[in-house]
């Protein structure tokens, strides 16, 4: 297990220090591990990210000043404590491995002393801290930045904020979208059941499946090409766009491709989809997802939206804009540590700029859908309000999909993890006035 724990320490350093993405870090630093050990590393990495402030609070009880410690030593202690307090790995095994992998860092005695003190005082260690300030209490106990918790309290109140933060620390299920160009949802469901893989239809999305607890991507790899991994809320965004076969569609910020490939699927793979993605790494992921589903209607364009040259405008445009991603913290626990409150204003400003660019590419009778995986109004309603102040020729329209009605209010689509058991998304449909 030594190699697994070294991989976990390295991944955490990459994520927390260098702002790497968990999946990419795991692919890079745990790729040589077998399936069982990789799953072990993933559990540790995601578990530490979900409980970072709690673990650091415990460490501070035994080390008054952690600044002189290196990043690897701190992460070594974090993963050791997570195993001991949350995974119930035997204490002796945790201490033995933590001390062993600490030797190159020169602090094995310190790690040994801290962990043995934790074992001796385990009964007095409190995983839940009390504080008279509810914002601080929630922030510390759920490992969310204080600024984010205070922002949520203003929006939702204390009780709902606590619920949101706690839901964010739960494990999200693996959700699929059936590739109906190759198989029906019912037939895929039956094939999964025959392979002893528990699954159920999504509550709203017509082509979605929610896999049972504990099912991993490796368990369903044999069904490659028959599905895309995509949360239910993300699937619903494509129905706001409501594309038709033969249309010319722009997916303005396309990677990793869940919505791009879903649009192609809804169009029966007939028509033209221009999928724009500037980032080379994300563009490669998008290209692979297009290939795996066998799609022919999608043309990948590695470019910035502002720089694309077009000779013909689009029938429909999806702008799934870069955002804070605070609506998907449940799936991506590192998101909470990536931004400061001032970044929310920057995101909102850039999103409005992208809206203005996308709007110029739309046909007179076309449809423009704006979406973000954020629950914050500054990235949703406020962006649309700012856009409409200058784009006077546009108006908000309601969806014609009845099954989306429970998530619509005043023309705005909203989902929340704590209310709908899916990711937090915002969406809106706009068209030009006639």
Of 434, 326, 429, 337, residue with least CA distance to 375: 326
Which residues are paired to 250 by β-bridges? 274, 317
C-beta of residue 209 within 8 angstroms of C-beta of residue 185: yes
Q: Is the bond into 256 cis (omega within 30 degrees of 0)?
A: yes
Task: Check residue 298 and report its DSSP letter.
Answer: E
Q: Which two tokens stand for residue 69?
A: 């410690």
Place of tokens 């933060």: 165
Q: Of the listed 204, 373, 392, 431, which one is catalytic? A: 373
Strands 208-211 and 175-178: antiparallel
Strands 314-320 and 248-251: parallel
Active site includes 373?
Answer: yes
Q: CA-CA distances (angstroms) from residue 336 to 10, 217, 245, 267, 345?
A: 20, 24, 39, 36, 16
Q: Which two tokens stand for residue 191?
A: 């094939």
Strands 248-251 and 362-372: unpaired
Which residues are paired to 314 by β-bridges? 362
Catalytic residues: 373
């Amino acid at each position: 297990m030594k190699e697994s724990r070294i991989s976990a320490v390295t991944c955490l350093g990459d994520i927390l220090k260098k702002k790497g993405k968990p999946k990419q870090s795991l692919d890079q630093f745990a790729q040589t591990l077998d399936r069982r050990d990789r799953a072990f590393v993933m559990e540790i990495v995601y578990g530490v990210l979900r409980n970072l402030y709690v673990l650091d609070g415990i460490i501070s009880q035994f080390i008054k000043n952690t600044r002189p410690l290196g990043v690897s030593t701190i992460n070594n202690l974090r993963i050791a404590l997570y195993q001991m307090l949350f995974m119930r790995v035997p204490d002796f095994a945790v201490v033995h491995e933590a001390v062993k992998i600490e030797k190159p860092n020169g602090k094995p005695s310190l790690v040994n002393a801290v962990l043995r003190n934790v074992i001796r005082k385990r009964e007095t260690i409190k995983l839940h801290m009390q504080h008279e300030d509810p914002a601080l209490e929630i922030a510390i106990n759920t490992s969310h930045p204080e600024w984010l918790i205070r922002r949520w309290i203003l929006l939702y109140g204390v009780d709902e904020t606590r619920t949101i933060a706690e839901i964010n620390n739960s494990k999200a299920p693996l959700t699929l979208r059936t590739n109906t160009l190759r198989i029906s949802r019912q037939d895929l469901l039956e094939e999964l059941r025959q392979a002893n893989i528990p699954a159920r239809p999504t509550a709203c999305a017509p082509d979605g499946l929610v896999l049972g607890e504990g099912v991993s991507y490796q368990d369903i790899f044999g069904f490659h090409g028959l599905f895309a991994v995509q949360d239910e809320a993300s699937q619903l965004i494509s129905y706001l766009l409501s594309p038709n076969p033969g249309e010319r569609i722009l997916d303005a910020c396309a990677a990793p491709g869940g919505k791009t490939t879903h649009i192609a699927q809804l169009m029966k793979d007939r028509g033209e989809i221009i999928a724009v993605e500037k980032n080379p790494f994300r563009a490669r992921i998008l290209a692979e997802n297009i290939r795996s589903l066998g799609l022919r209607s999608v043309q990948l364009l590695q470019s910035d939206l502002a720089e694309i040259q077009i000779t013909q405008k689009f029938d429909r445009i999806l702008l799934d804009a870069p955002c804070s991603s605070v609506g998907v913290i449940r799936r991506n626990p590192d998101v909470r540590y990536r931004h400061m409150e001032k970044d929310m204003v920057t995101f909102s400003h850039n999103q409005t700029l992208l809206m203005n660019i996308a709007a110029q590419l739309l046909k007179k009778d076309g449809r423009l859908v704006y979406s973000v995986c954020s629950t914050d109004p500054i990235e949703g309603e406020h962006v649309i309000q700012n856009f409409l102040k200058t784009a006077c020729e546009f108006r908000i329209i309601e969806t014609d999909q009845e099954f989306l009605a429970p998530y619509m209010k005043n023309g705005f689509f909203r989902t929340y993890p704590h209310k709908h058991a899916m990711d937090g998304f915002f969406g809106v449909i706009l068209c030009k006035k006639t």
